[in-house]
A and B are shown apart, each in its own frame.
Chain A
Amino acid sequence: MGRRRGRLGSLASVRWTAAACLTRASKLAPRASPMPSDEEELYQDHILDHYEDPFHRGHLDGVTHAHADKNPLCGDVVKIELQLDDEGKIVDLYFDGEGCVISQASASMLLEEMYGKTVDDIKMFSAEDMLKLYGPRLTPNRQKCCLLSWKVIQGAIHSPVDGEK
């Protein structure tokens, strides 16, 4: 961390959290896509792509489970709708919301990642996995933006909509 000295981001708490995340993340199995080469660049092209042309943004007909939450710090809002079958397979999923690039792009990335998977896959997908999926290293405040959709999807699997079991 020596070379990061003097940045605003090197406050003790920030350094601790970032370091802790990296440590935990490094224990995970290596993913197919390596960490982005320019870790300082929060707004990489593929992230802006997700922001401008999101995956499955809108309303889902046949929704069985849904949840919404917001980040009071900045007013980011994310709602996720799931259609689950009896075996716990995700038939389809959609999100909607408004807020900063990180909150909305990460929701799009999460849905793309979970498309065709199962409830168990969602349960297994940790906060660290979410941060890693996003890519660029985030300070604790921006991690909240990135983790909003992750929190919402974790809540959604336990939130059947009216008329569902």
Chain B
Amino acid sequence: MLQYLAAIVFIDNKAHMSAPATTPVDETQLLSPKWRDDFPILSEEVGNGRPLVFLDNAASTQHPRQVIEAITGVYERDYANVHRGIHTLSERSTELYEEAREKCRTLLNAQHFHEVIFTSGTTASINTVARSWGDANVGPGDEILVTIMEHHSNLVPWQQLAARTGAVLRHVRMTWDGRLDMQSLDELLTERTKLLAVASVSNTLGTINPIAKIVEKAHAVGALVLVDAAQSVPHMTTDVQALDCDFLAFSGHKMLGPSGVGVLYGKEALLDAMPPFLGGGSMINEVQLDTFTPAELPAKFEAGTPPIVPAIGMSAAIDYLHNVGLDAIHRHEQQLTRYCYERLEDTDGLCILGPEPKHRAGIVSFAFDKIHSHEFAQVLNDKFGVAVRAGHHCTQPLHRVMGITASTRASFYLYNTIEEVDHFLEGVKAVQKMFAPRQRTSKRRKPDE
């Protein structure tokens, strides 16, 4: 633990020693602000009439008109349950729903259409693998590897699996600057390792993990790899065939789509061999009073009425992202992140969590030695109209090893601008000033004095 505390102090001191040079913004890498016009909510006012600056995109993103209209459109023209009716609306809904699956296949560059399973979100996707693949393939003495930077959703299901099966959970450490420690990974990967569960981008540190290299190392000892891609699929190009990962999970609501839908990608052979997880309608081939035979992929893992309209909304979101361009989105966010990082780094008493900008996605979290993150989030909202996340961001163990309980997180998306980052930075300075100690001792009369 001291190792990471030391890292925090080190980063802090470095900031004091010399004001770091700032890199000029490369205007050609920024997206046009015209995209903002597609997002009705961005003209909302918050905190007594201040224009909204939405920097909580790692939690959930906003919706362009195209997605909202796609959702309204289904309800107004096409809605019925899928795969069930012979009537016109059921056919239309089914077609749109399956079209969404094809869009997801393209987004991931998956080999097969039926390797895309719709779930309710990343959490449900990961739990499906832990329950179905995990219960069937993991036993006492087997090892599951996770990293200490995982979101609770990629940690708790594996703790539960270990408790059910008698397997051992092991944790890959990180380097002092918040990157995955590849030496620790090498040490922990053995023939006992059955699966490695890892985030492609840390939702707290913003670290981009080298997934292709990690998968190669894991496969070398015969372990499978599940990638929590909730923070990467919405922000950069993903190619599951190039990564060669075995499972990958992401959510619609972090990529301009509605909440309630997510995807589990799995390699065909693995999904085929896995027992169904949830039982019910749709996931069956034939049902007798005492037995059933499961349906083929992907229906085998989609019991019950699926998230029909959310999936169709996500389909429109994927169209929108392709229209803007995922590489262009990544470049835009890199500019915002570097701009924000270099200016925050120069702040007394403030410590940025995680690596330098070249290793991170559009996420900048920081802790302050004297001021709780709740104060930052509250004042940024009330006085500046800036929405940020405060707390542990569902990574309590990660915060604990860094010796803190909470941090403040700004996370960017395609609609954020340099001016908004400036506004946020101005807010951070104001908070610092507001809560600076003022030697108040004994100003207040105490009843017993």
Contact = CB atoms under 8 A, between A and B. Distances in A.
**Which range contains the number of A residues in contact with the other chain?**
20 to 34
Interface string A90-117: 0000000001111000000000100110
Contacts of A42: 378, 382
B57 interface: no
Interface in B383-409: 387, 390-392, 405-406
A53 B375 contact: no
A158 interface: no
Given A6-B44, A73-B391, A145-B374, A52 B406 contact: no
B24 interface: no
B374 A100 contact: yes
Contact of A101 (B390, B435, B438): B435
Contacts of A116: 447-448
Given A53-B443, A101-B375, A115 B448 contact: yes
Interface string A60-96: 0000000000000111000000000000000000000
B48 interface: yes
Given A7-B47, A102-B374, A74 B444 contact: no
A8 B47 contact: yes
A49 interface: yes
Nearest to B404: A75
Nearest to A50: B444
A48 B433 CA distance: 13
A46 interface: yes
B23 interface: no
Contact of B46 (A6, A74, A101, A102): A6
Nearest to A43: B434
Interface string A6-18: 1110000000000
A40 interface: yes
B392 A75 contact: yes
A52 B439 CA distance: 8
A112 B437 contact: no
B358 interface: no
Nearest to A8: B46
Contact of B440 (A52, A74, A99): A52
B48 to A, nearest CB: 7
Given A49-B444, A116-B447, A8 B381 contact: yes
B28 interface: no
A116 B441 CA distance: 22
Given A53-B444, A75-B405, A142 B382 contact: no
Contacts of A52: 437-438, 440-441
A80 B244 CA distance: 55
Nearest to B48: A40
A50 B444 CA distance: 8
Contacts of B405: 74-75
Contacts of B373: 74, 100
Interface of B is mostly: loop
A49 B435 CA distance: 11
Contact of A48 (B44, B390, B440): B440
Interface in B73-122: none
Contacts of B447: 112, 115-116
Select the residue from A42, A73, A74 with max chain B CB neighbours within 10 A.
Answer: A74
A7 B435 CA distance: 24
B379 interface: yes
A55 interface: yes
A94 to B, nearest CB: 12
Nearest to A3: B48
A74 B374 contact: yes
Given A7-B48, A145-B374, A40 B446 contact: no
A142 B374 contact: yes
Contacts of B441: 52-53
B442 interface: yes
Contacts of B48: 7, 40
B36 interface: no
A6 B440 contact: no
A99 B392 CA distance: 13
Interface in A20-62: 40, 42-43, 46, 48-50, 52-53, 55
A43 B444 contact: no
Given A74-B372, A74-B374, A112-B447, A53 B442 contact: yes
Nearest to B438: A52
B45 interface: yes
Nearest to B448: A115
Nearest to B372: A100
Select the residue from A42, A75, A101, A145 with max chain B CB neighbours within 10 A.
Answer: A75
Contacts of A8: 46-47, 381, 387
B444 A46 contact: yes
B379 A43 contact: yes
Nearest to A42: B378
Contacts of A50: 444
A68 B442 CA distance: 27
Given A6-B44, A48-B440, A74 B390 contact: yes
A104 B312 CA distance: 47
Nearest to A6: B45
B178 to A, nearest CB: 20
20 contacts: A6-B45, A7-B45, A7-B46, A8-B381, A40-B382, A48-B435, A48-B438, A48-B440, A49-B444, A50-B444, A52-B440, A53-B440, A55-B446, A74-B372, A74-B392, A74-B405, A75-B405, A100-B373, A116-B447, A116-B448
By Cβ-Cβ distance, the 6 closest A-B pairs, closest first, are A75-B405, A100-B372, A100-B374, A52-B440, A53-B440, A8-B46
